[in-house]
Amino acid sequence: MTNTTLTPGVVPGRLPPEAYAANFADVAPPLDAHEAKVAADRCYFCYDAPCITACPTSIDIPLFIRQIQSGTPDAAGMTIFHSNIFGGMCARVCPVENLCEGACVRLEAEGEPVEIGALQRYATDDIIASGIHPFRRGPATGLRIAVVGAGPAGLSCAHRLAAKGHDVVVFDAHAKPGGLNEYGIASYKAVDGFAAAEVEWLLGIGGIELRQGQALGRDVTLEALRGEFDAVFLGMGLAGVNQLGFDAPHVRDAVDFIAELRQTPDLSTLPVGRDVVVIGGGMTAVDAAVQAKGLGAQSVTIAYRRGPERMGASRHEQDHAATSGVRIVTNAAPKAVGADGAVEFTWTRDLPDSVMMNTGETTRIAADQVLVAIGQRLGAMPEGLEIEGGRIAVRGAGRTSVPNVWAGGDCATGGDELTVTAVAQGRDAAEDIHELLTGDAPVDAPRVVMAVGAAG
């Protein structure tokens, strides 16, 4: 990690103390009971609801909204958790405009979708805040499963396996569980330590042992785990970060910047530049840019090498960045860092068939801090596994090329760097692991994921 405190112009405490609280307040405050009732009343309760199909975890959205409408939000929360045990975090971070709300019939009819994300948060928050876990474990099976990675995929898998009576040991490289939810998203999306509280609540089912500071390839090996456990699930995400190759003291990874911000108790101690340039076009780039602005940077620019329609960040996220004072420059490919710290870019043009052409024209953007957000990759390659496109190759519900080893989330093919997709893949892999180890259902038979336990 670059020591930005030694970089001229990158200093902490750019703002008065009260400004930090305002800049990092909840970006989407929760609905109250009346607001939730009004929002629920707008649902058409479609029989063949496109919002369900658009949700990677297939939550029965019309059902939980009807339960809110009828005055039973706890029942609505349980409907959500049966399909998505991370329903609270997904309500905060899902790009709903591209998923459930983007498919909402109300959007086409009136131009405004039902507030599905906000209603999901309303239904789940009180259950999590109670600290009481509503699922019970099934009868003990005597089987032990290792899960590598305590992020959304790993913990979703672990919870579903624990609910079925298996004993689960989760190995994670970080000091705290949560993965991307804890270290990788903007703090204004999950305020007041919500990520940690949600994990603690999830672990309330029992049967899950956490072993922190344990990295695959460094502290544990896949071969050793296969020898000790009946099955292994790999959900360690993408630990490596793609590099631009710019050797300058004011250039650092946006991932590290966000992780440091998420873990600091005092935002005024974090150094930030006066002129910040973020290179990249995804959600990480937007999160880093908006938070740099919130820390007091006077000028923040996101520079992306292709056109705006090719950016990984949703239109909603791009608009949020713009309204936060972030400038977005597109069709600008980074070329070099000058002696004065400024970044030189080559203007590009998008051509058909995803071809990008350099025009030969250049521009320079002043910078005393540069945050690089151009994607992540696998860290240590797990031994013996087939790799496809830089990720672990999987088929079906996460089966890898090695017997009794599954994978899901960002580290596996099919992962799209969304919390909700990781949750779905971890859940489905757990069902497949259970079927294979116990023979409760034909291995290759289609199945519907059912409730993981009974409400207690």
Tell me what pLDDT residue 441 has: 57
Q: Count of CB atoms within 10 A of residue 179's CB?
A: 27
Q: Count of CB atoms within 10 A of residue 219's CB?
A: 12
Q: Count of CB atoms within 10 A of residue 451's CB?
A: 13
Answer for the pair 331, 347: CB distance below 8 angstroms, yes or no: yes
Q: What is the DSSP string of 31-55?
A: P-HHHHHHHHTT----TT-HHHHHS
HEC profile for 90-106? HHHHCCCCCCCHHHCHH
The bridge status of strand 299-303 relative to strand 376-377 is: unpaired
Q: What is the pLDDT along the chain (456 residues), one digit of tens a residue?
A: 444 444 778 999 999 999 999 999 999 999 999 999 999 999 999 999 999 999 999 999 999 999 999 999 999 999 999 999 999 999 999 999 999 999 999 998 999 999 999 999 999 999 999 999 999 999 999 999 999 999 999 999 999 999 999 999 999 999 999 999 999 999 999 999 999 999 999 999 999 999 999 999 999 999 999 999 999 999 999 988 888 888 899 999 999 999 999 999 999 999 999 999 999 999 999 999 999 999 999 999 999 999 999 999 999 999 999 999 999 999 999 999 999 999 999 999 999 988 999 999 999 999 999 999 999 888 877 788 999 998 999 999 999 999 999 999 999 999 888 999 999 999 999 999 999 999 875 433 333 333 333 332
The residue type found at 329 is V
Q: Helix or strand or coil: residue 230?
A: coil
Tell me what pLDDT residue 274 has: 97
Q: How far is residue 205 from each of residues 125, 305, 453, measured CA to CA in Å?
A: 17, 46, 10
Answer for the pair 342, 367: CB distance below 8 angstroms, yes or no: yes
Residue 200 is given by DSSP the state: H
Strands (E), 330-456: 332-337, 343-351, 355-365, 369-372, 376-377, 387-388, 391-392, 405-407
The residue type found at 393 is A
Query: 420-432 b/e with 16+ CB inside 10 Å = b?
Result: bbbbbbbbbbbbb
Q: How far is residue 441 from each of residues 30, 394, 415, 434, measured CA to CA in Å?
A: 41, 21, 26, 9
The half-sphere exposure of 194 on its side-chain side, counting CA atoms within 13 A, is 25
**Distance between CA atoms of 265 and 315, rounded to whole angstroms?**
31
Q: What is the pTM of this model?
A: 0.92
The residue type found at 226 is R
Domains identified in the chain and CATH numbers:
4-25+242-372 (3.50.50.60), 33-129 (1.10.1060.10), 144-239+378-438 (3.50.50.60)
Q: What is the DSSP string of 231-295?
A: EEEE-----EE-------TTEEEHHHHHHHHHH-S-GGGS-B-SEEEEE--SHHHHHHHHHHHHT
> Tokens at residue 244, please?
């631009």
Q: Count of CB atoms within 10 A of residue 387's CB?
A: 14
Burial class of residue 445 in the structure, from the number of CB atoms within 10 Å of its CB (0-12 exposed, 13-18 middle, 19+ buried): exposed
Answer for the pair 103, 50: CB distance below 8 angstroms, yes or no: yes
**Distance between CA atoms of 229 and 111, rounded to whole angstroms?**
52
**Distance between CA atoms of 288 and 209, rounded to whole angstroms?**
33
Q: Which residues pair with 369 in a beta bridge?
A: 276
Query: 142-177 b/e with 16+ CB inside 10 Å = b?
Result: ebebbbbbbbbbbbbbbbbbbbbbbbbbbbbbbebb
**Distance between CA atoms of 55 and 417, rounded to whole angstroms?**
15
Q: Helix or strand or coil: residue 346?
A: strand
**Distance between CA atoms of 377 and 391, rounded to whole angstroms?**
8
Answer for the pair 269, 294: CB distance below 8 angstroms, yes or no: no
